[in-house]
Amino acid sequence: MPSLGLLLEHPIFESYNRKVGNVNEGLSTEDAEFRPLIDFDLHREEIEKFKQTHIYDRMREAEDRKAV
């Protein structure tokens, strides 16, 4: 596949979240060791808007310019 079309669509952090969840047990959110879980779905709307503007539209422009 050409590099122009490579895109990490939806990163998955299940292993990280499981590990951090174990570390977070018994900690409060104010504790210096506390780490929030990673959940990209909380930012889904902004991510989709960014992908459309900065990835898909630019890919289309590059494809049109180079006739690929």
pLDDT bracket for residue 6 (50, 70, 90): low
Judged by DSSP in three states, 17 sits in helix
| pLDDT (0 to 100) of residue 67 | 80
- Any idea where the domains of the chain sit in the sequence? 12-66
Amino acid letter at 57? Answer: D
Token pair of 20 as six digits: 């951090």
Q: What does the radius of gyration of the chain's CA atoms come to, in whole angstroms?
A: 18
Distance CA 58, CA 44 (A): 20
51, pLDDT greater than 90: no
Q: How many other CB atoms are found less than 10 A from the CB of residue 16?
A: 13
The rounded percent of the chain whose pLDDT value lies above 70 is 90
Distance CA 34, CA 26 (A): 10
